[in-house]
A and B are shown apart, each in its own frame.
Chain A
Amino acid sequence: MKKMTINKLFAVSVLALAITGCASDGGVTEDAAMVDESQTQEVAESPEMDAANTENAQVSNPLLDQTTIYFGYDRAEILPEFKDVLNAHAEFLVANPQSNIIFEGHCDERGTIEYNLALGERRANTVKSYLIVQGVSPSQLESVSFGEERPASFGSDEMTWSKNRRAEIRYSSAMGQNQIGDNQ
């Protein structure tokens, strides 16, 4: 029974790597698969499976390292330059149905706190919808808005504001080590 689980996992991982490898145009698929085999077997005995898969995928597709996308002022549409990043995450999630993502929506400080809370949710939901269209199961996706309350950068100038109008992608398996937005 246990052996079967490991084999299954291995198959899923290889599939994931095949897809993400394609997306990144990387020529390192074979090496990555070798690494993957050992890690998957190790991990199959621990509950940290998602985290391990995430790490592996990051080796194969650098776009997965990018977990923040930015928005125009008072806008929630996805800018064309961030579609590749979202596509990479979508492919990873399709290949790893046990992985889950939380999208955090954020705003700059201009406008009211409540309107920005709503706008932050709209940003998070836009990204969520985009991934669903790419074939990701809605059950893998959550969204939360922090409005203007958790800025990435402090200040009142356009440079700061542009860094704060964002959606952050958090793999929920990593939540234990890196609590979402927890400033304590």
Chain B
Amino acid sequence: MSLRYWCIALIFLSSLARAELTIEITQGIASSIPIAVVPMKWQGKPLPENVDEIIRSDLERSGHFGILDPDDMLSHPASEEELYFRDWRLLKQDYLVISSIKTIAKGQYQVRYQLFDVFNERELLAQTLSANTNQLRDIGHRISDAIYEQLTGIRGAFSTKIAYVTTNRTRTQFNLAIADSDGAREKVVMSSKYSIFSPSWSPDGKRLAYVLLEDSGSKVYVQDIATGKKQLVSNHKGINSAPAFSPDGNKLALVLSKDGNPEIYVVDLNTRHWLRVTNHYAIDTEPNWMPDGDHLLFTSGRSGNPQIYRVSLVSGFIERITFDGNYNARARLAQDGRFLVMVHQSAKGEPFHIASMDLSRGLLQILTADTFLDESPSVSPNGVMVMYAAKYNKRSILAAVSVDGDVRFLVPSKSGDVREPAWGPYID
């Protein structure tokens, strides 16, 4: 089960039948870190979740790890007493995870795990976590986050959620859903016969803003995820679209065409004060906040083709950001604004792919290749992965690529089309 170059389609069944999405890894990095995650020791009836398998698939999906198949292990130790480092050196493993789980009350579990550096025979991490039956998956993702951070220096994002829209082939039914970052535990937040798009998370992960395209046109709603209560935020004449929460969660940037032409606006969700940001006869759309909360990136057709621009909400100064390519749109920021990712078409007639751009150096890199009509990029909160929607085998699917382009995986749906992924924030 080790990770290799290109087109190894491993289907992870860990997401179980109830989840609609599965993961197929298509490309990992060559210098992946060998790690063995030993099956968790448990004496009792089978658990509802296979926690060590969740950890293995999380780490594998990141592309940074080569995962040892439990069948290839010489032993399955659960404690230091049972552990012989030479066995793992023999298997060329750099790191080792052992764990055990026990019941502490009815439906209450305690999980203990340890991460070892095999070469130095040293413990790097040890933690005891408790959970009820429904939280076993969360425990798996939290352990993955801790291991990932310990070994890469980057905060893990396996515990975060993704939002996306599922639809049938004839586009007559739309569901806005939330799932774990591996596609498991899908929960439908909103269903409609009308198209739902542009979901945007509030920074606290408690609300989603989205567009509902009714017969009378597009409208922007904000919905509380826990209660399901939705609020109509924007219903002006013309387009109401492309909502994006500000970093403090108090404002929405969005697009209105009530002036006769799509322009960027910012509305304060508490005072309902509207601020018009752009004023140009071309199309201005897809606002996205810079981390400082004082600037927006947006797509504009003012140069003739869609390109990315930055506007200061303080001075109103507008600056063009992208110059390479025929079509650059829907910018999203990664790594505190050091990178942006976007939909990119290099020249007319060429395919649409996801590209990243290093904002300090202006260098553009095309990240995707295997998918078709790539759109809607969304960056994980640790800035490592980009989830996007694409056409693949005539279906709309989700796929992911690392911001450096080295890791790629597909998230096909078992039925229907999936679109418009939005990667949720960290939830502490």
Contact of A117 among B218, B260, B306 (CB under 8 A): B218
Interface size in chain A (residues, C-beta < 8 A): 29
Proximity string of chain B (275-295) to chain A, C-beta cutoff 8 Å, 1 when within and 0 when not: 000000001011000000000
Chain B residues within 8 Å of A46, by CB: none
Chain B residues within 8 Å of A181, by CB: 215
- Interface residue SS majority, chain B: strand
- The complex places the Cα of A38 from the Cα of B200 at a distance, in Å, of 57
Given contacts A145-B218, A183-B193, contact A112 B239 (CB under 8 A): no
- The complex places the Cα of A147 from the Cα of B283 at a distance, in Å, of 13
Proximity string of chain B (152-176) to chain A, C-beta cutoff 8 Å, 1 when within and 0 when not: 0000000000000000011110000
B420 at the interface (CB under 8 A from A): yes
B63 at the interface (CB under 8 A from A): no
Proximity string of chain B (193-217) to chain A, C-beta cutoff 8 Å, 1 when within and 0 when not: 1010110000000000000010111
Chain B residues within 8 Å of A156, by CB: 372-373, 391, 394
Which among B262, B301, B352 has the highest number of chain A CB atoms within 10 Å? B262
Given contacts A121-B238, A156-B391, A183-B193, contact A115 B286 (CB under 8 A): yes
Chain B residues within 8 Å of A125, by CB: 260
B265 to chain A, nearest CB (A): 14
A151 touches B215 (CB 8 A): no
A113 touches B218 (CB 8 A): no
B245 to chain A, nearest CB (A): 16
Which among B170, B193, B215 has the highest number of chain A CB atoms within 10 Å? B215
Given contacts A118-B283, A151-B171, A183-B170, contact A113 B197 (CB under 8 A): yes
Proximity string of chain B (102-133) to chain A, C-beta cutoff 8 Å, 1 when within and 0 when not: 00000000000000000000000000000000
B327 at the interface (CB under 8 A from A): yes
Please report B residues at the A interface, Cβ cutoff 8 Å: 169-172, 193, 195, 197-198, 213, 215-218, 238-239, 241-242, 255, 257, 260, 262, 283, 285-286, 299, 301, 305-306, 327, 329-330, 343, 352, 372-373, 375-376, 391, 394, 420
Please report A residues at the B interface, Cβ cutoff 8 Å: 74, 109-115, 117-119, 121-122, 125, 144-147, 149-151, 154, 156, 179-184
27 contacts between A and B (CB under 8 A): A110-B352, A110-B373, A111-B329, A111-B343, A111-B375, A112-B306, A112-B376, A113-B198, A114-B197, A114-B198, A114-B242, A114-B255, A114-B329, A115-B286, A115-B306, A117-B213, A117-B241, A118-B239, A118-B255, A122-B283, A144-B216, A144-B217, A146-B213, A182-B193, A183-B171, A183-B172, A184-B193
